[in-house]
Structures are given as structure tokens and as C-alpha cells.
A and B are shown apart, each in its own frame.
Chain A
Amino acid sequence: MLKMLRYIFISTLLITLLSSSLAQEKKEKTKIRYPKTEGIAIGVDFAPLILQWIDPARTGLNFLVRGNINQKWFGVGEFGYENFNQDNTRYHYQSKGMGLKMGVDYDIFNPSEEGNNDNIFFGARYSFSWQNHGSDYYLIENGYWDDYTGSYENYSFNTHFGELLFGLRTEVFKNLFICVTMRGKALIYNSNPEKLEPSSIPGYGQPTHFNFGFSYSLEYQIPYPKSKRDKPKTNEKLL
């Protein structure tokens, strides 16, 4: 039920944002459009820190590099690490891992004012994560006969997954951007050979077939050297 509500909420949010931005585009079709500053951005994603605040068992940090391919398309690389340590009376679990994501973003936002470098974009990622995990103690309670205790020695495995995302990126100071993305994720392959399941896959989260996530990053953009295409153009030429 909760998962369905999440789908509905996210779908409604996306549709509302998309339709309003498209409606605005339609109205302003004849206006002059100003090109955005192109460049390479490096950033830090603070989502792992927010998650750590909610769930102290996990620690991690993500970094990203974003570069303009042209006015509409960005190439994006993300990498980070995540450690997970959980101890309760029945189950101890420890994991260390890192992840790498590569993909593109497509900007649908056409600014109608000079110097507006904001972006509304859709994107896709192919992601790979590696992790080493184990359980030094687990307890299966019986309630009448003797309980059972066991352990799993640490071992490594990797996971491949894909992401589709919707993002908003705004320039808060010159060349400094805040970017939020909401992501739908799908597990493609997991090489875990044992019954011990990861509590969290770096960059993916809980090991379900589908998952949701978000990022909240601060990016600094280093502009490309200025070229002729930085001059204002009509919308028709840009499209």
C-alpha cells in the first residue's frame, strides 16, 4: 500500500512539473532564447549524509562530474562509497562498498532570460557497485530448545543496476549549483553467491528488484572557453 502511494505521489509530482514546464515552453515559443553557460561541473552529493542522519548504521559520500556535450545533453559520472554496520540482539552485519555510475542527462528547460543556467532534466545511468560484507554473529531463537548461532565470513560480490531519473538544477551563485534528482532504480545483476543478503547495496539501497532514491548535490561548474554559440538564438533554432 505504501509503495503504491509512493508511486502515485512521485508520478503526480513528475507529471505536474513536466506539464507546467511544457505549458510555459508553449507560451514562450516565439521569444528569444539565451544559451546557457557550458562547462564541466564537479560536485558532492549530500544524500548519503541525510540518510546517515536518518539511519546511523550507514555512512557514505558520493561525488559527481558533469560535462556539457551540447546545450541539451550532459555526460555524467558519479562515484562514491558506502559502509553499513548494524548490530542488534539477533543479527550483526557489516559491509564496505563503492559504486560507479555513468550516464547522460537531457535538459528540457529553455530559459527566457539572459544568464539563466537552470536545468530541468531527465536522465539515465548504468551503475556498478562492489561490496565486501559478512555477519560475525546471528541468532535464530527457538523459544524452547537450544537457540542456534552462526556467522558468515566476509566475502565480496558486485551488483549491476540501471536508473531513470528526473532532476532539477539551479544556479544559486555564479557557477555554483544545487541539484536534486529523484530516481527509479532496477536491479540487473547481483553476483552474491550466499544466502546472506546485503542490507544495502552502495548507490542502490535495499536489495529489492526495484527501488527509489534521491540525490541532493552541490556542484561547481568550470565554464568552457566562450564560443560563438554563446550568443542568443531564437527558440526555433535551439530546438
Chain B
Amino acid sequence: MKRIKSVLLVAAISAMFFWQCAEDEVYMSNQHAVQIGIASVYTLADSTVEEFSAFGLNKTDSIYAKAKTKIAFLPLRFDSDTTIFVLQTYLRKDTMAFLHSKEETFVSSDDGFAFNLKLKAIYFTTNFIDSVVITNPSINYNENAQNVKIYLH
């Protein structure tokens, strides 16, 4: 009987310990942004762009300001199915329009909801951009994958 009482106590403490150690999911940033890889049209290899700036149409604050980068993350709008950005390197400017759809997804009881986005088409001007390829149209929450490749002159 004493043994059962001791085990009862241990079991209760163990159960509480397990409950307290429940894992929580972690909210990640950049979850609603197109991931863009930059490449040279001449070598077809990944390349670095310098003095790179990007901002949304009619927005005053920039996403990149004269940055040196190989990859760019451009967040898409939730209130529209089209998101337009102005991209610049040195004095050359191009405009890119992303057509996309969104689907709501439940993340966790801590973080609530997020969107999974899907690229449908991209339209762009060609001052320093040569061509654009959609490599993966799905921008899913909690996934880290390149969506678009931009080939520059």
C-alpha cells in the first residue's frame, strides 16, 4: 500500500512535468514574401546586384535601399491580388507587377492564422531586367523556397 502511494505521487509529478514541456510552434518572419534569386543573363549563374533598391508602388518606405544582395524578399499585399514594386540599381529602374492569390491557413493556437500565397503571373519592364522565371509559384507559411529568378543585363 505504501508503494502505491509513493508511485501515485511520482506519477502525478511526472504528468505535470510532461504537460509543462509541451512544444510551441515558432512564428517565422518573411512568410508572405516572394523570394527572388538574382542571376546574370550572360552567365546564367547567380550574381550579386549592387546599389539595389526596392519599394512598393505609392509607398514611401523602401524594402531595400542601395543594398548589395543575391536574394530579395518582396512582401505581397493581402488587400489586393496584384502587388507592384519599383526596383532600382544605380540609376536604372524597372517595375514588376505580381499577380497572386491567397488562401488562409491556421498556424497554431499561439500564432493564429497566416496566408499561403500563389503566384499567377509576373509583368515587368526591361531597363535592367532581361527576363523573369517563376520557379515555384507557392509561397507557403513555414517554407523557405525560392519562387522567382530574375535575369539581369
Contact = CB atoms under 8 A, between A and B. Distances in A.
Interface of A: 2-3, 6, 9-10, 13, 17, 47, 50-51, 54, 86, 88, 90-91, 93, 109, 113, 116, 118, 120, 135, 138-140, 142-148, 150, 168, 170, 172, 178, 180, 182, 195-197, 199-200, 206, 212-214, 216
B24 to A, nearest CB: 11
B11 A148 contact: no
Contact of A146 (B12, B14, B77): B77
Contacts of A120: 4
A168 B11 contact: yes
- Chain A, interface SS category: mixed
Contacts of B63: 144
B11 A145 contact: no
Interface in B1-42: 1, 4-5, 7-8, 10-12, 14-16, 18-23, 29-30, 32
B75 interface: yes
Nearest to A183: B15
- Chain B, interface SS category: mixed
List 4 A-B pairs, minimum CB-CB distance, nearest first: A91-B112, A214-B15, A199-B109, A148-B78
A17 B6 CA distance: 12
B106 interface: yes
B113 A150 contact: yes
B23 A197 contact: no
B124 interface: no
A113 B4 CA distance: 14
Interface of B: 1, 4-5, 7-8, 10-12, 14-16, 18-23, 29-30, 32, 56, 59, 61, 63, 75-79, 83, 104-106, 109-115
26 contacts: A2-B21, A6-B18, A13-B14, A54-B16, A88-B110, A91-B111, A120-B4, A140-B114, A140-B115, A142-B32, A143-B29, A143-B32, A144-B56, A145-B56, A145-B75, A145-B83, A146-B79, A168-B4, A172-B5, A182-B15, A195-B104, A195-B105, A196-B106, A199-B109, A206-B22, A213-B15
